[in-house]
Amino acid sequence: MPTLTIAQIAELAGLESDSHPAKLPRGPLVRRVAAIGDATPDALVFAQDESSLDAAMDSTAGIILAPRKLVTGHAAELPSKQDPRVLAVLDPRYVFALAAKALAPAHEASIHPSASIHPSATLGLRAQIGAQAVVEAGVTLGDDVTLGSGVVLCTGTTLGSRVVVQAGAVLGGTGFGYATHPATGEHVLFPQQGTLVIEDDVEIGANTTIDRGALGETCIGAGTKIDNQVHIGHNCRIGRNVLIAAQAGISGSCTIGDGVVMAGQVGLGDHVTIGPGVILGGASGVFPGKRLEGPGQMFMGVPAEPLKDYLKSIARVRRLK
Amino acid sequence: MPTLTIAQIAELAGLESDSHPAKLPRGPLVRRVAAIGDATPDALVFAQDESSLDAAMDSTAGIILAPRKLVTGHAAELPSKQDPRVLAVLDPRYVFALAAKALAPAHEASIHPSASIHPSATLGLRAQIGAQAVVEAGVTLGDDVTLGSGVVLCTGTTLGSRVVVQAGAVLGGTGFGYATHPATGEHVLFPQQGTLVIEDDVEIGANTTIDRGALGETCIGAGTKIDNQVHIGHNCRIGRNVLIAAQAGISGSCTIGDGVVMAGQVGLGDHVTIGPGVILGGASGVFPGKRLEGPGQMFMGVPAEPLKDYLKSIARVRRLK
Amino acid sequence: MPTLTIAQIAELAGLESDSHPAKLPRGPLVRRVAAIGDATPDALVFAQDESSLDAAMDSTAGIILAPRKLVTGHAAELPSKQDPRVLAVLDPRYVFALAAKALAPAHEASIHPSASIHPSATLGLRAQIGAQAVVEAGVTLGDDVTLGSGVVLCTGTTLGSRVVVQAGAVLGGTGFGYATHPATGEHVLFPQQGTLVIEDDVEIGANTTIDRGALGETCIGAGTKIDNQVHIGHNCRIGRNVLIAAQAGISGSCTIGDGVVMAGQVGLGDHVTIGPGVILGGASGVFPGKRLEGPGQMFMGVPAEPLKDYLKSIARVRRLK
């Protein structure tokens, strides 16, 4: 089991601990992260405001991350003199998450005997594959991949390294594209024989579905995180470090820029383009073929408009102004 | 196979059958519930209006539940004199449901050989576990639990007694919480090591997902019923006897009071509070951090407003007033 | 592996190739469909405009489908004289889809050894059943059915011929219907013992859920195509050749006419009727009990109104007019 000293956590946080080794106490040493209410001497906790900092200092927590602005009377980058367990950092929640990652047990190979892995699939190093999971013919996995129980990776799917797919997600399914007979109304499936590429460090939630390309590729960029029950259609190109919350739906052939944030239940029509860094509020919708741009700009409503305009529209409808 | 006499059904309905045993006919006796169109002499049916009561009396149904207000000229709590098969009750549909429950075969243990149950999981009495279902390490089940085919119970999950989970649902998955590096935009998973507690008599629909807590607990209160494809995020506290219809999405850290009714596709931002007995109309949405209160009060729209106001807003937009 | 000559493709397209055999070149012959960028001499490609037609003619594609209106100076029904590989048709995308179907390998029986099929289930000819799929007791399948990995067919389900069900879909689950005690607020399940009938040529997407009837039947009409993560409640009657895009939700007891098109995230309350040929725009919603009619008429918004009215409403709210 990994452990972390306060000096090592300071280093994770980007504080120059190496240059001030004497100033950092040897102990304490933590083995896990915890909520303040569950703290024990081997636990790291974090505080975000004065009251939680007080609670943390009243607990037996081994190390306490505190916002730098709350820890006065000390060199900002050093633990509090009042309590040697306190490490002041810019963003305690972020450092807490980094520490949790460092404390996690090493990724070790583990393939559940009930999983169904086609002989033609290529697994990377240390694959962790849950019960009843399915890896179909020709699928390729990078290293340190984690597949939850009941995950299905369809033919045509490639996963990068450190990809995590939670239980019940279906990756690489047949897209929804049909050609319709003008007289009879019968629908014929447009060929859906393309591929799905999931790049490194992507994390995908439970029961999410991502379809492979029709003739080309669907691609999810490195570092993108996707919540539960998200749907992504064929031929989409999702950028890097995108966040997509639960039940959002992205129709076919959309392009999503790097760092976009999509809240829950957002809906995009097909061929939509969302520029890098755009933020889409919950349940907002974008009509087919439209383009939204503006890093850091938030859009809301159906059809989505800039937040300021949306608030005006709502106020107008409700006769608040 | 259980059976019910008309006297026993009267008792289920809360009618004082014991005090008037002579007034209640011995027969008939039913073994199943049915639609009027499929009625046979061993079947219980129910009528809600005059035309369905006529149809029921024309059928060969063994026992007929009828609304008390339709059955005149008789002591309200006694079967109709015209047709000894008729039992007059306040709410025929409710009594029909109670009778169907009483007629169901006893819950008997049945674990499909293809299910994957971790040796460290604790099953209660008479567990029914479907094909390909997965019960991960450390999961605990109460008595008389039913897990459908392909259900996944992740580590950290506890189920009460008489809980029913339908096929494909994923309970106890990793929540969607990340801390983001301010410069690189890389997302680090906030630790998701909490628990999920499903209390007694909860029923959960197909392909629904409920995440376990981040550091604490997600809890679904006793008697709550959840439809298909619902998503409930980490750290939510759902009250007792809540109804949540299909495709509703509840973001992390929401608090839902007892007896709340949420229609289909409702969406709640994180840290929302819904007071006891509130009714949320279909596809309505509540912004993060907001609170709605009022037992029996219905809210509609995005952002959700009281029904009366919502109807006014719609009328205003559409120039109807 | 099937092959197609240009004459055979002309025949698929309904061109009278038989009556002009001399006018159609013997070769070339294709074995697969491809995007123009991936074309090889054994591939059929299609062009929809001048630039893609130019690209196609620059490629090594074996046969090129082109819109008739772009291929001038020739008998419309004959290949272009400039390039004997070009076949002019009314709708190249449609003919391309027909050709892809004709080129697909014949449907051959293939049941994955990890699938769980109840001995009382009846499989038709040439069933293809994926890994970890579950076919419960009494289920009946037509011929040439394809079940993806992890599909669950619950008791009470009947599938017609050539039905395709993608990974993770759950068909025939228990519907969401409860009767509530007026004093205690406890919910009792209304009996959900009906059936689900999926007619011929229906295709169903990944992680979609369709509930069986309560006392009666849920029915999906022949030729209907359903995308991923769609929910269809108990007792619905869906017509023929309907298209339902991802994450649409149809509450119980709805009736949907033939040829209806529902875009993504559409939501219908219970007992809604949608007339034949109606088009519902993305994320539109229809209140319980309502009826929308008009073949080819598009509705948008919540509650859904005719497109023309919807656009006026939006313009009014946003002070654009």
At B217-243, the pLDDT tens digits run 999 999 999 999 999 999 999 999 999
Structural tokens at position B229: 């494809």
User: Mean of the per-residue pLDDT values for chain B?
Assistant: 93
Written as one letter, the residue type at A251 is S
Query: For chain A, which ranges sit under pLDDT 70?
Result: 16-27, 72-81, 320-321
Contact C173/B167, CB-based, under 8 Å?
Answer: yes
pLDDT at B18: 47
Residue B274: both structure tokens together:
């819904």
Q: What percent of chain C has pLDDT over 90?
A: 88
Instruction: Pick A134's closest partner by Cβ from C94, C149, C203.
Output: C149
Average pLDDT, chain A: 93
φ/ψ of residue A76, rounded to 5: -55, -30
d(CA B88, CA B91): 9
Closest by Cα among C130, C229, C146, C99 to A155: C130
Quick one: C81 exposed, middle or buried, by C-beta within 10 A (0-12, 13-18, 19+)?
exposed
Residues of C in contact with A265 (CB under 8 A): 265
B203: closest CA of chain A, how far (Å)? 19
Model pLDDT, residue C71 = 81
A283-307 confidence digits (pLDDT tens): 999 999 999 999 999 999 999 999 9
Residue A255 CB partners (closer than 8 Å, separation 6+):
A236, A237, A272, A273, A274
Average pLDDT over residues B203-213: 98
Catalytic (active site) residue B234: yes
Active-site annotation of A, residues: 234
Query: Is B216 at the interface with chain A, CB within 8 A?
Result: yes
Peptide bond into B303 cis (omega under 30): yes
Tokens 């909860």, residue located: B202
Average pLDDT over residues B68-88: 69
Cα(C198)–Cα(B42) distance, rounded to whole angstroms? Answer: 30
Give pLDDT, residue B206: 98
Within an 8 Å CB–CB cutoff, is residue A225 touching chain B?
Answer: yes
Subunit partners of chain A (3 or more CB pairs within 8 A): B, C
Inter-chain CB proximity A259 and B185 less than 8 Å? yes
Q: How far lies C63's CA from each of B301, C58, C210, in Å? A: 53, 12, 41
Residue C201 reports pLDDT greater than 80 = yes
C118 versus B24: which is more confidently predicted? C118
DSSP B54-92: HHHHHS--SEEEEEGGG--SS-TTS--SS-TTEEEES-H
Percent above pLDDT 70 for chain C: 93
Residue contact A247–B269, C-beta within 8 A: no
Does residue B317 belong to the interface with chain A, where contact is any CB pair within 8 Å?
yes
Confidence at residue A320, expressed as pLDDT on a 0 to 100 scale: 59
Q: What is the pLDDT of residue B72?
A: 61
Sequence-ordered list of residues with C-beta below 8 angstroms from that of B133, at least 6 positions apart, any chain: B112, B115, B116, B147, B148, B149, B150, B151, B152, B153
Give me the catalytic one of C20, C74, C231, C234. Answer: C234
Rama region for B314: left / alpha / beta (φ>0; ψ in -120 to 50; rest): alpha
d(CA B231, CA B223): 18
Across residues C46-61, what is the average pLDDT? 95
CB B86 within 8 A of CB B57: yes
CA distance A205 to A91: 26
Q: Which of A180, A182, A267 sits opposite C283 (nearest CB)?
A: A267
Long-range CB pairs of A177-183 (<8 Å, 24+ gap) are A177/A214, A177/A234, A177/A252, A178/C97, A178/C225, A178/C243, A179/C91, A179/C93, A179/C94, A179/C96, A179/C97, A179/C98, A180/C94, A180/C241, A181/C94, A182/C91
B245 touching chain C per CB within 8 A: yes
Q: Are C94 and A136 a contacting pair at CB < 8 A? A: no
- Residues of chain B contacting A167 with CB distance shorter than 8 Å: 134, 152, 154, 170, 173
Interval C66-73 mean pLDDT = 81
Q: Would you call A204 helix, strand, or coil by DSSP?
A: strand
Interface of C with B in 164-183 (CB under 8 A): 168, 170, 173-174, 176, 178-182
**pTM: predicted TM-score of the whole model, two decimal places:** 0.95
C-alpha closest to that of C47 among C80, C18, C20, C19: C80
**What distance lies between CA C103 and its chain's CA centroid?**
19
* Residues in A touching C276 (Cβ below 8 Å): none
For the four alpha carbons of C94, C99, C102 and C104, in that order, the dihedral sign comes to negative
- Residue B187 contacts A where some CB pair is shorter than 8 Å: yes
What mean pLDDT do residues C287-315 have? Answer: 96
Residues 6 or more apart whose Cβ sits within 8 Å of residue A39: A45, A56, A59, A60, A61, A62
Q: How confident is the model at residue C321 (pLDDT cuts 50, 70, 90)?
A: very low
Q: What is the pLDDT of residue B20?
A: 47
Whether the CB-CB separation of C25 and C13 falls below 8 Å is answered with no
Of B249-253, C47-51, C235-239, the one with minimum mean pLDDT is C47-51
What's the CA gap between C177 and C187, in Å, rounded?
Answer: 9
Is pLDDT of C72 > 70? no
> Does residue C75 carry a pLDDT above 80?
no
- Neighbouring chains to B with at least 3 Cβ pairs closer than 8 Å: A, C
3-state secondary structure of C19: helix
Q: Does C224 touch chain B (CB under 8 A)?
A: no
Which of B96, B205, B282 comes nearest C176 by C-beta?
A: B205
Choose from A12, A30, A129, A132 for mutation: most chain B CBs within 10 A: A132
CB A213 within 8 A of CB A230: no
Would the CB atoms of A167 and B152 count as touching at under 8 Å?
yes
pLDDT at res. B70: 87
Name all domains of chain B by residue range, CATH numbers in brackets: 6-103 (3.40.1390.10), 169-312 (2.160.10.10)
Contact A34, A45 (CB under 8 A): yes
**From CA C224, how far away is CA C240, in angstroms rounded?**
5
Is the pLDDT reported for residue B134 higher than 90? yes
Which 270-299 residues of chain A touch chain B by CB within 8 A? 282-283
Closest-CA residue of A relative to B305 is: A318
B-proximal residues of C, 81-110, CB under 8 Å: none
Residue type present at position C10: A
Task: List, edge to edge, every strand of the sheet that includes C170-173.
Answer: C116-117, C134-135, C152-153, C170-173, C209-211, C231-232, C249-250, C267-268, C285-286
Higher pLDDT, B78 or C23: C23
pLDDT class of C25 with cuts at 50, 70, 90 = low
The pLDDT value given to residue B77: 44
Of C198, C280, C205, which Cα lies nearest the Cα of C236?
C198
pLDDT in tens, B96-123: 999 999 999 999 999 999 999 999 999 9
